Structure 1
């Protein structure tokens, strides 16, 4: 036991795991993701452009730091050596009062324009520019090779560098060409680098655009299919092999879904025909019954069966075969106001934005009719609001009725679900009104949400792209 205790006491402690994304750095990924583009095409461009820009920045930095500085230093060294030679000649032959020969040799052989000025104080040092490699290197070479008081001006004239050096009997003023002491052709390298990068980027963007376009077409076709729109006429598998496989799989999936919908519609049509035949026979037999009260009661049962059958078929069949068209909400809302007046109810309407939208008109009117009729049935005041902003349409139906409990708001969208008498559907109903409404909203690429209204009752909000 003592040995075990000793091992436990000497066992190394496990260091806590350090998460680099905790503390001040934890917001960096979130900030980066917020400002990153969301589309595939711009993100692909960033993947191509970012490494190229980074590589060129590194290459340019290395070039500026080493090659440019080295060339400039060698050129400045050569110019300062020539000036030092001129100073040595002046000090060696002080008897030449006008220094005409020295000035001529410097001009013809060394490409330096020199002059001997009378003794005077050197000008005050000028402010050095923030980024001027010539100023630092030239000053360093003069100090190292000549080691006399000097003054230089590298920013006065763009093509000339002025240097003044104090001599024993005067001031030596030298005008040297800037390109003799400075690597002035560096911009050629940068122009070639940037030019070739732009050409490569242009080629990459063109090829990338051709590769991204089939993916965008596939996304638009899938989105249109979700809204019940027909497939574009020019849609076909294109692009890379993976995109072609995805497009082909989408076409096959769409064909299977449409075939199943056609089979279901055909089956329901046959069932509807058979059941209507039976109901017609019931009506004929009821007409032969002598008791009027029994006959009326049975006729009501047959009518209820007829309404239930129509509701089942409408829910199962949907409005998938309807084409997309333009719908104006103003006459639709005017019709709802007329229905509210007939029922002695108050209906307030408001439309913000363009009242016209592209939907399947009959199915969307049916969606609104189900919601408004349900609100008028259980409330005295209803508020109908439509907001068409951007590419989204939001329709809110609010009432002052008893409302629906929050835990039951999702249940009412299930087929054949009925609530308590406070929200029960009228005689002949099937519990399919909200189910049909949500099915229509989702077929348009949107949805319906229920919440509490400011009026005290229920709010049904429809949001679809339009």
Structure 2
């Protein structure tokens, strides 16, 4: 029993999985389906009920009336078959019953003609004539768009009847269908307009959330739409304000700490300047310079770049700038760019991020190549070198603050261990990330990916 029950469930699950592939992915399309689908089902049920109950019932009653009129004429003709009586019967049928009557030879009854697919009138009228008149007959409801032709085999002749189609079936049903379809279209149009107005604030909220994820300002987000959407917009704005306030407080605190530390370093420099030249003095001066450089890197890492406003910059100009810095260190550096020349970023932070990646490549490699591609809403910048690279198991650790792969972790080692951490922090502020891969040049390939 269990396998039999499982089969229908699996079949239903497969059906819904296949149906899900064709479902709209956006909220507007899904909301439209939720509104339109019940309306279509309701209209289909109304059309079925109307055709099955009302239209067919009215057509049956009208066809029955026409069949009784024909039966009465047939009986009168058989009682009074003379030419004079037939002429009077024609007048009565035309004036009172609106039926044009003719008399044809007995062999004028053709065989039944093929019927079209939809022959509700043929079936109904033929059934009523068969039940009421009970004589051989032939009908044609499709040969003429306005008239119905009926031939009845009487005692010595074939009586031919012409009557209007509107006398045999409900001819105003199309008006009901037109009104129903027209009303449905108007309601659907109104629903579409209302849905667009309700979806628009949600789209603005989603765009604002994306801007916030890229580190852009969301101060100009007006609350609009339903109360839930307004609450979500207000919550997003307040969250952004709180985060910026916390970052600002942290930056102010660290700026104070930096000022105090710089004051101490300045004292060291003054004391060193008063000392006589010696190897110890040179070593201490080198240590003070390293401490100041580490302090600057730490402040850049801890302070972040969230206070800088976004603006459009020329990407080839920034690439050329970082390449020229690499050449000052006698490291050959080339770059290529494909796509739009301008991107919206935080200029100083973006240049620092790219400069840290290029600086890291220059520190460990002898040649550096930069490849930039901007397309499909994403900017991808790959910085490659021919250095020793980074083992795959350590590629996540290098983004940790103060982590260095070099064996010497003393003050003589170049770098503070914050270059890649700062670069990743800036990438995350822009809503992107940094991937480390093996380079075709034999070293490391650092890929900076940002949404644009």
TM-score (norm 1): 0.86
- Within a 5 Å distance, the mapping from 1:106-117 to structure 2 comes to 106-117=93-104
Question: Over aligned residues, Cα RMSD in angstroms?
Answer: 2.9
Asked if 2 retains the 8 angstrom alpha-carbon contact of 1:412 and 1:435, the reply is yes
What is residue 277 of structure 2 aligned with on the other side?
291
* Structure 2 CA distance for aligned equivalents of residues 214 and 255 of structure 1: 20
Asked if 1 retains the 8 angstrom alpha-carbon contact of 2:147 and 2:164, the reply is yes
What is residue 8 of structure 1 aligned with on the other side?
none
Name which of structure 1's ranges 302-311 and 64-73 shifts more when overlaid on structure 2: 64-73
Could you list the per-position Cα deviations for residues 54-104 of structure 1 after superposition, in whole angstroms to 9, with x for gaps in the alignment? 112112111112211111111112112212222222222222278322222
* Structure 2 CA distance for aligned equivalents of residues 169 and 463 of structure 1: 97
Match of 2:82, SS?
A: coil
- Does residue 392 of the first structure (1) align with residue 392 of the second (2)? no
* Structure 1 CA distance for aligned equivalents of residues 198 and 205 of structure 2: 12
* Structure 2 CA distance for aligned equivalents of residues 281 and 357 of structure 1: 44
Asked if 2 retains the 8 angstrom alpha-carbon contact of 1:450 and 1:460, the reply is yes
What is residue 420 of structure 2 aligned with on the other side?
434
* Structure 2 CA distance for aligned equivalents of residues 465 and 93 of structure 1: 96
Report the count of equivalent residues.
451
Mark the CA change 1:21 to 1:456 in structure 2 (over 3 Å): closer, same or farther. farther
- Does residue 44 of the first structure (1) align with residue 31 of the second (2)? yes
What is residue 179 of structure 1 aligned with on the other side?
166
* Structure 2 CA distance for aligned equivalents of residues 405 and 120 of structure 1: 103
Match of 1:120, SS?
A: helix
* Structure 1 CA distance for aligned equivalents of residues 36 and 325 of structure 2: 61
Name which of structure 1's ranges 385-394 and 23-32 shifts more when overlaid on structure 2: 23-32
- Within a 5 Å distance, the mapping from 1:321-336 to structure 2 comes to 321-336=307-322
What is residue 204 of structure 2 aligned with on the other side?
217
TM-score (norm 2): 0.89
* Structure 2 CA distance for aligned equivalents of residues 366 and 437 of structure 1: 7
* Structure 2 CA distance for aligned equivalents of residues 362 and 21 of structure 1: 61
Shift of 1:25: 3.9
Q: Which runs of 5 or more residues in structure 1 are unaligned?
A: 1-13
- Within a 5 Å distance, the mapping from 1:112-131 to structure 2 comes to 112-120=99-107, 122-123=109-110, 125-131=112-118
Mark the CA change 1:121 to 1:349 in structure 2 (over 3 Å): closer, same or farther. farther
Mark the CA change 1:372 to 1:136 in structure 2 (over 3 Å): closer, same or farther. farther
Mark the CA change 1:21 to 1:368 in structure 2 (over 3 Å): closer, same or farther. farther
Shift of 1:256: 1.8
Task: Return the match for 1:146 from 120, 133, 152.
Answer: 133
Match of 1:415, SS?
A: coil
* Structure 2 CA distance for aligned equivalents of residues 264 and 450 of structure 1: 30
Q: Which runs of 5 or more residues in structure 2 are unaligned?
A: none
- Within a 5 Å distance, the mapping from 1:369-384 to structure 2 comes to 369-384=355-370
What is residue 350 of structure 1 aligned with on the other side?
336
Match of 1:428, SS?
A: coil
Task: Return the match for 1:277 from 253, 257, 263.
Answer: 263
